Amino acid sequence: MEQLIEKKDEKPRILIVDDSEINQQMLNDIVSSQYEVDFADNGRIAIDKVTSHSADYYSLMMLDLNMPELGGFDVLGALRTNDLLDHLPIVVISSETDDAQIEKAYTLGAMDFISKPYNDNIVLKRISNILALFAKTRKLEDLVVRQFYDKEKNNQFMINVLANAVEFRNGESADHIIHIRAFTAIILHALREIAPQYNFDSDTISEIVNASSLHDLGKISIPSEILNKPGKFTDDEFKTMKEHSAIGAGILEKSEGFKTSSFLRTSWDICRWHHERWNGTGYPDGLKGDEIPISAQVVALADCYDALISRRTYKDPYPHDVAIKMILNGECGLFNPVLMEVLKKVEPDLRNGFDKKLLRSLEIEEINESAREVLNSL
């Protein structure tokens, strides 16, 4: 949370973009008593400077329209394309008198237009007003993000308490949940990158990651002598064990709000179908291929990998490389070929997936991104 609110003790920094040295000097003389000042002689240098620093490095840009290399309109266009105008207010400074040009600057996202000759006090007032407005908006945003974050965090705690209760009874450590979440997040991010048909937004990713915690919810009603039996199951025991996926889905169905909650629906998909396999050999429904929701496919893969590399009452852990090879060879049932591509790509990340810090940072990023998306949709 701390990193959301940046404390700035130093003076706000203004980037003056103008090809005329006299104009640069005049503006500098007006603003330098109150602001840090940096200069760019043309639009290309301006864009380079803005994009090579963090989003909050410059607080405001004063932008001339007519410049060699890239002009002011090009700068506005480029910053807009890169979503930088939300963070960097632009004041156009120009001797332009053609209304069409001034209108164009506003349309492209300029916050204000200051014409020549400059009046020191008016220039300063306009800058400070714009900065105050931006700071206020930013503060409100941070407030909303913080509330969103706290609420989301509490929801996650509750989900984890429940998931851990299931796993403890299951004789597995709390790490299993952490692993499943980390592996699911890593796989989803990579999947989004290599397969354009899965263009999950960050909300969807955090929903699937949260829901992955509950994949074994149904085990809560499997007798503990079966759950914790060392050695092989009898056919009957295995049959009982396999019921956990349908039972978990059943518990969720009975939950209040099931019909309207996309989180519960995603959890249901994962609970019921995380033992399905791509070629239809899984259970409980024998779904095939894309009949299995991608969320359940991903959690199935994560679950399978974690089962291989973890110690269980009935087996020793396999080394990472062996586990990856076994999955790729289809020894744990068949998965979506796209997911096998993803697995090869994220294999080094999975090796490090135990890194709880990595997982935490993934989640914080996810929540923050979700909150920003909510804000931007307002």
Partner 1 sequence: MNLQTFYSSVGGNYDGIIRQLKTEERITKYLRMFLADPSFSQLTDSFSAQDCATAFRAAHTLKGVCLNLGIADLQFSASQLTENLRKGSFDADSAGLLDKVRSDYDTVISLLKELFD
Distance CA 318, CA 323 (A): 6
Q: How far is CA 100 from the centre of its chain?
A: 40
The binding track of 60-89 with respect to partner 1, each residue x by CB under 8 A or -, is ----x-xxx---------------------
The binding track of 286-325 with respect to partner 1, each residue x by CB under 8 A or -, is ----------------------------------------
Interaction between residue 98 and partner 1 (CB under 8 A): yes
Identify which range of 2-10, 59-67, 136-144, 332-340 contacts partner 1 by CB under 8 A. Answer: 59-67
Q: Quickly tell me which residue has 């914790």 as its tokens.
A: 228
Q: Is 219 considered catalytic here?
A: yes
Q: Of residues 104, 219, 315, 344, which has the active-site annotation?
A: 219
Residue 101 vs 240, nearer CB to partner 1: 101
Distance CA 221, CA 245 (A): 11
The binding track of 16-35 with respect to partner 1, each residue x by CB under 8 A or -, is ---xxxxx-xx--x------
Interaction between residue 123 and partner 1 (CB under 8 A): no
Interaction between residue 117 and partner 1 (CB under 8 A): yes
Q: Of 83, 103, 120, 201, which one interacts with partner 1 (CB under 8 A)?
A: 120
Identify which range of 43-51, 78-86, 95-103, 288-296 contacts partner 1 by CB under 8 A. Answer: 95-103
Distance CA 172, CA 314 (A): 12
Distance in Å, CB of 132 to partner 1, minimum: 25
Residue 69 vs 112, nearer CB to partner 1: 69
Distance in Å, CB of 26 to partner 1, minimum: 6
